[in-house]
Structure formats: structure tokens, C-alpha cells
Structure 1
Amino acid sequence: MNTIKKLTRPRNGRMLGGVCAGIGEYLGIDPTVVRIICVLLSIGTIGLALLVYLVLCFVIPESY
């Protein structure tokens, strides 16, 4: 059986837009780790990661 994984923003487990929770589910890691990495990238790139997060909120579909 071939199951295709899709990147979606889950309705449960989200904090803001669900992007980090969706990436965590897709990669099979804890969303908290993804959130910490996102914060560190935002600090290190002077907010560029925050802009990427906002774009992903609109690009990644919400799960149903």
C-alpha cells in the first residue's frame, strides 16, 4: 500500500496558525521542537522566518 503524506494544518494542537503542528506531524516529530526551531530562526534571521510562517499559513491547506 502506498500512502501519500500530505502537509496540512491540523485543527487540533495548533497554537497560532497550525503551521508548526502540521510540519511536526508531517515529519513525525514533536511540534514543540518545530516551534523552538521557528523561534530561533526568527531571531537569527531578523524576522524572516516569521514572514515565511505567515506565507505558509495561507499556502498550506487546513485539514478536514
Structure 2
Amino acid sequence: MDKKLRKSRNNVVLTGTLAGIAEFFGIDPTIVRVIYVFLSLVLIGSPILLYILLAIIIPAAPRGGQSYGHQNQYYGANQKKQPKQAEKIDDDDWSDF
């Protein structure tokens, strides 16, 4: 198994560092983020320095097909949207006026 600690490109909030740690250990990134916020409050901000250090040290994951780390149909990099077609209206139907 070739697991490497890398910043996530699939689940990015700020830099993808916490999501990368979660992917490395195989747990939900939300759990890691909640633990990080709790530790930041309890340990009076010292995890913030650790986060900055990890964000600098941990390399980014290779680029995939998605941009900005979003896995959503609305954030597709190469999607072209089709213009909406107007509904055809019968010109003789003016009975509402």
C-alpha cells in the first residue's frame, strides 16, 4: 500500500492540509477539523502555528480533473452550459387580459 501524506485536492477548505491528514488516516475530514478547532480553543492557539507549519511542509497532491478541489457538477472545469430555451407561446392566447 503506497500511502503518502499530501494535501487534499478533493476536500479543500483553506489549504487542504487537514483533509489530507484525514485521507491519510482514512477518516472523515470533518472529524479532523472539529478536533483541530477544539484543540485550538483549548491550547490557546498553538495548533494554529502547527497548521501553518504543516501547510508549508506537506506537499500538494497531484492535480486531477477538477479545479479548486470541488467534486460537484456545478464546478466542472470544462463544462459548457447550454442556454435555456424559451417556451413557445401561442400568440392567440391573450384571454388573461
Aligned-pair identity in percent equals: 47
Number of positions where the alignment pairs a residue of Structure 1 with one of Structure 2: 62
Counterpart CA distance in 1 for 2:34 and 2:24 is 17
Name the Cα RMSD after superposition.
0.7
TM-score under structure 2 length normalisation:
0.62
TM score, norm. by length of structure 1: 0.92
Please state which structure has a larger fraction of its residues in helix.
1
CA-CA distance at 1:11 after TM superposition: 1.5
* CA drift at 1:38: 0.3
Larger Rg: 2
Amino acid aligned to 2:46: L
Partner of 2:22: 24
Structure 1 residue 59: Cα displacement: 0.3
Q: Which moved more, 1:3-12 or 1:27-36?
A: 3-12
Aligned-partner SS, 1:29: coil
- Structure 1 runs of 4+ off > 3 angstroms? none
